[in-house]
A and B are shown apart, each in its own frame.
Chain A
Amino acid sequence: MVEESGIAGLDIEEIPDKDRLFMRVHSNNTKNGLLIPGAFKNHNDGMSTDWSKYSIPEQTRQRAKNPSRNGVIEMSVKDVRAIPGQRVQHTPIPSNRAHTDVLGEKDEESRVKFLRISRWAIPLE
Chain B
Amino acid sequence: MQLLERKIIVSKPYRSEWSITKGPDKWTSQKIKAIIETCQLEGLYKQDTPLREDIKSAIESSRSSILGLRDNWDDEGSPGYTKETWRRATLFLENCVKWLWCDHETVLAAPNILPGPNGSIDLHWDTQKYEVLINIPADRTVKLGFYGDNKGDDFRKGSLNPKTKNEDFLLWLKNLV
Contact = CB atoms under 8 A, between A and B. Distances in A.
B135 interface: yes
Interface residues of A, number: 19
A38 B122 contact: yes
Nearest to A42: B117
Contacts of A122: none
A111 B133 contact: yes
B146 A108 contact: yes
B118 interface: yes
Interface string A3-41: 000000000000000000000001011010000111001
Given A38-B122, A69-B75, A106 B147 contact: no
Given A38-B117, A107-B147, A26 B74 contact: yes
Contacts of B114: 31, 36-38
Interface residues of B, number: 23
B134 A108 contact: yes
A58 interface: no
A108 B74 contact: no
A112 B76 contact: no
Contacts of A43: 76
Contacts of B74: 26, 28-29
Kindly name the residue among A64, A69, A111 whose own CB sees the greatest number of chain B CB atoms within 10 A: A111
12 contacts: A31-B112, A31-B114, A36-B114, A36-B124, A37-B114, A37-B133, A43-B76, A64-B75, A107-B145, A109-B147, A112-B133, A112-B147
Interface of A: 26, 28-29, 31, 36-38, 41, 43, 64-66, 69, 106-109, 111-112
